Structure 1
Amino acid sequence: MIGKLTGLLSDKNPPEVIVDCHGVGYEVNVPMSTFYNLPATGEKVSLLTHFVVREDAQILYGFGTAAEREAFRQLIKISGVGPRTALSVLSGMSVAELAQAVTSQEAGRLVKVPGIGKKTAERLLLELKGKLGADIGAPAAALGDAQGDIQQALVALGYSDKEAAAALKGLPQDVGVSEGIKLALKALAK
C-alpha cells in the first residue's frame, strides 16, 4: 500500500525514524544499516517501505535500498520469523553478508545476530537457499564494467537480479554493452 516515503527527516530514535511528508509524520522502523546512512535531522530523505497491517497495529518498515527491502520480505515469509526478527537480522549483517551466509550455509554467522538461535538460523538457511543467493547482495560493480552495465539494463527492463545474473553467465567475457544486452535478451527469450 505504501511503497515509498520521501520527505524531511523529523526525528531519529533507533530503530525508529519519523519522516515528515507535507505535514504528516510517518513513524518508520528501519534496520541499523539504513539508520547509519540517514542524513541529518531536517534534511530530505527517501525510504522504500513495507507496510504491515496486524489486528492490533499498522507498522511501516523502511529501507535505504531495494535489496534490503527484498531481503526483509524474504525473511518474513519464513515461518516463525516476524518483522522484528527480520529487522534484527538486517541490523546485524548487510544483505551481501546474509546472501553469503546463505550461499555457504554458515549458521554460525546468523547465530551472532541478537535474537537468532541455532534452530532459527538453520531454518533461515534452509528456507532462503535458492531465494537469497550471492547474486542478490553482490553489487553490479563487482562484475566487469560492461557486465555490470548489462545486468543493470536487464534489471531496468524488468528481469529479476537472478534472471539477469543467469543471462550474464552465458555471455563472452569481452562482450560490449550493446551486443551483450542483445545476446542476453535472446538467451532470456528462449
Structure 2
Amino acid sequence: VIATLLGTVAYRGDNFVIVETGGVGFKVHVPTPLLSRWGTAGRRVSLYTYLHLRENEVSLYGFDTQEALSFFELLLSVSGIGPKVALGILSATNVEALRLAIASGDTDSLSQLPGIGKKTAQRIILDLRGKLEEEELVPAPPLSPVDEDVIAALTSMGYSQSEVREALASLPDEEMPLEERLLLALRHFGGS
C-alpha cells in the first residue's frame, strides 16, 4: 500500500496531479485547494495517500495532512459516499468546518456540499457524530503571543490552521523573535 508520496509535480490536470518520484509518475487525485496551491509543475510535494481498489480501477487520492486523509477515510465509512464524493466534500470545505457542521448537526450546511443531499447529510451526522465525539482530543498547549502571530500571518497567506499548528509543532520550544519563528515555519512548508 502506498501510504505517502514524496516527489515532484510533473503535470497538473483538472482534479489531479502527476507526481514523479524515482522515475515513476503517479496520478494522484487531490482536493481543489491543494491543486491550486501545489499544482505548479516542478514543485516538490509530500502527500499522505489513500489507495482505492476496484475491479476495473486503481485510484490514488492525496492530502497534505494526516488529518485530512483521516477525515477522507472517515467519510468513506458512510454508506453512499465513495472517494469521488468524499474528495468533492474536502474540495468544497475544510476539515474544521466539516467537523463543526457534523458536531452541531447542521444538515443545511452539509447538504450544500457537492454530491450531498438532505438524506446523505443526515446519514453523515448520524454515522460520524459519535466517532468524532469518541476521538480522544488532547487539548492543545496554550500558544505564546508569538505563535498566535505566526498563525495569523500564515493563515492570511492561505495555510490552514492545522497546517500551521503542524509546522509550529515541528519548531524548537525555545523563545525566539516573531520573524525568526515565522521564517522557520515557512521553511517547514518549503521542505528545506
Does TM, normalized by the shorter one, top 0.5?
yes
Opposite residue 143 of structure 2, the aligned amino acid is: D
**2:104 corresponds to which residue?**
104
- C-alpha offsets along residues 79-125 of structure 1, whole Å, 9 cap, x if unaligned? 11111111111111100000000111101111111211111111011
**2:143 corresponds to which residue?**
145
Distance 2:110 2:29 in 1: 21
Where structure 1 has 5 or more consecutive residues not aligned to the other structure, the ranges are 147-176, 178-190
Q: State TM-score, norm by structure 1.
A: 0.70
Change beyond 3 A, Cα 1:39–1:57: closer
Distance 2:61 2:122 in 1: 25
Distance 1:123 1:138 in 2: 27
**2:63 corresponds to which residue?**
63
Distance 1:38 1:137 in 2: 29
Distance 1:83 1:123 in 2: 16
**1:91 corresponds to which residue?**
91
- Contact kept, 8 Å, 1:76 with 1:86, in 2: the verdict is yes
Pairs aligned (count) = 145
Where structure 2 has 5 or more consecutive residues not aligned to the other structure, the ranges are 145-172, 174-192
- C-alpha offsets along residues 20-61 of structure 1, whole Å, 9 cap, x if unaligned? 012110000011132233162112111110001110111000
CA RMSD of aligned residues (A): 2.6
Distance 1:137 1:65 in 2: 17
**2:26 corresponds to which residue?**
26
Partner SS for 1:11: strand
1:110-121 equivalence runs, <5 A: 110-121=110-121
Opposite residue 78 of structure 2, the aligned amino acid is: I
Give 1:139 deviation, angstroms.
Answer: 9.6
Q: State TM-score, norm by structure 2.
A: 0.69
Give 1:132 deviation, angstroms.
Answer: 2.9
Distance 1:26 1:76 in 2: 22
- Contact kept, 8 Å, 2:8 with 2:44, in 1: the verdict is yes
- Contact kept, 8 Å, 1:101 with 1:107, in 2: the verdict is yes
Distance 1:113 1:81 in 2: 12
Give 1:13 deviation, angstroms.
Answer: 1.4
Distance 1:41 1:138 in 2: 38
Partner SS for 1:74: helix
Partner SS for 2:116: coil
Q: Percent identity?
A: 38
**2:167 corresponds to which residue?**
none
- Contact kept, 8 Å, 2:9 with 2:18, in 1: the verdict is yes
Opposite residue 13 of structure 2, the aligned amino acid is: N
